[in-house]
Structures are given as structure tokens and as C-alpha cells.
A and B are shown apart, each in its own frame.
Chain A
Amino acid sequence: MWNNRRSVLLSQFCVLLFSAVLLAVIIFAYSLVEWLISFSQAQLQGTEMYFFSTIYLGSLPAALLLYSLFRLLQRISARQMFLPENVDLLRRISWSCFAGSAVCFVSTLYYFPWLLVAVPAGFMGLIVRVVKNVVALGVELQHEADYTV
């Protein structure tokens, strides 16, 4: 039977899956970049270092995002939702998205398709920011409810 607990478990599994993908991208960055450059029709020879910079710089906010997401899901599974700590985690997730978006946006200078990552990442950061604002309000309401006698 499908329930909330299983849904959270599935989300945690997905976060771990994405973490594994991120780790694989970091480990096999060299092969990936080599493959992309040989596969691409654009003249990308000599841009390998730029690609490595984007991948390694972008992996920092991505790792922070996945870690924060995992911690948030742990708290949700423990039924601890409206806490100031969760607001901080959502803020971190949002800023990670913006940081990743900024890295990809700068990378469009040498490879324009990075814009396809930069724009959705920025938009996702904006959505998470709105969710953070909602949860922050929820924390206030929870506090009010806890201290209503």
C-alpha cells in the first residue's frame, strides 16, 4: 500500500541516485568531456579546461544541494516539518540552485548550450525560494499554535 512514508523513502532514493550520478560525472569528467568534444559539430578543441572548470565548480553547489535535500527529507520522515532548521536547508538549496545557474551562465561564454542548464537551475532556485517563504510562514504559525493554551 502506497503511503507518505514510502513516498519520502522514494524521494530519498532518488536523491541518492542523483548523488551517484554526480559522483560518476566527477570521476568520469575527463572521458565525458573528451566524448562531447569529439561528438560535437562545434569546434570545441582547446576548451577542455573550461569544461572541467564548469563541471568541478558546478558540482560543489550540486553536492551541497543534494546533501541539504537529503537532510530535509530525513526531517520530513521524522515528521519535523515546520522548523527554522528546515527553512535554513531550503535557503541553502535555493542558493545552491542560483550558484549552479551562475556557473552555467558564465560557461555560456565558451559553450552556449550551458544556457539550457543555467535557466532551469535559476528558475528552480526561484521556486525553492518561494517554498522557503511558505515554510518560514508555517514555522511562525506552528510557533503560534504551540504557544496557544
Chain B
Amino acid sequence: MPIIVNLDVVMAKRKISSGELAEKIGISQANLSILKTGKARAIRFSTLEAICRELDCQPGDILAYVSDKCEEEVLR
């Protein structure tokens, strides 16, 4: 999928664990793991808002668009 989730990068910068973030934004650790691993099909605005609030960042810091061509080149 061309949307890349950089949540783990931002979490590492803020030095926050998955369990702590999940508790603060009010979702389960399993769902946070789905989001971190890029398996999520959609993200609610309320979840995105909570993540940005707790990590003090912008949606663009968490989500990025990479075209299929770029993705293929990176994989090569």
C-alpha cells in the first residue's frame, strides 16, 4: 500500500512504549500493533487526533505517501 505509517519512528523519538501510548489514546495494544505494522485499512480521525495530541506531532509525521514506483525501487 502506498501509505506508510511512521508511528514507530515518532514513538521512538518521543521515547514512549506501545502500552503507554495505547492507554493514553484509548485503543487496545492489538489495534496499535495493527497500525504500527501497516496492516490497518483505515484510521479514524479521532484516533489520529489522539495520537497527534499525545505525541505532539502532525498527521504528516505519522503518515506518508510513497508511490508504488518508489516503493519498488526501495525494495530493489
Contacts and interface: CB of A to CB of B under 8 A. Distances in A.
B42 interface: yes
Main secondary structure of the interface of A (DSSP, over half): mixed
B33 to A, nearest CB: 10
Interface string B22-50: 00000100011011000111111001000
Interface stretch (A35-43, A69-77, A80-88, A141-149): A141-149
Interface string B58-69: 000000000000
Interface residues of B, number: 12
A30 B69 CA distance: 69
B66 to A, nearest CB: 20
A7 B44 CA distance: 36
B40 to A, nearest CB: 5
How many of chain A's residues touch chain B, expressed as a range? under 10
B24 to A, nearest CB: 14
Q: Which of A143, A147, A148, A149 has the most CB of B within 10 A?
A: A149
A53 B32 CA distance: 59
A147 B31 CA distance: 8
Contact of A147 (B27, B32, B34, B47): B34
A144 B40 CA distance: 8
Contacts of A143: 41
A148 B27 CA distance: 11
A41 B41 CA distance: 65
Nearest to B42: A148
Contacts of B31: 149
Given A143-B41, A149-B35, A149-B44, 9 more contacts: A144-B42, A147-B34, A147-B40, A148-B41, A148-B43, A148-B44, A149-B34, A149-B40, A149-B47
Interface of B: 27, 31-32, 34-35, 39-44, 47
Kindly list the 7 A-B residue pairs having the minimum CB-CB distance in the complex, ordered from nearest.
Answer: A147-B41, A148-B42, A149-B35, A149-B31, A149-B40, A144-B41, A147-B40
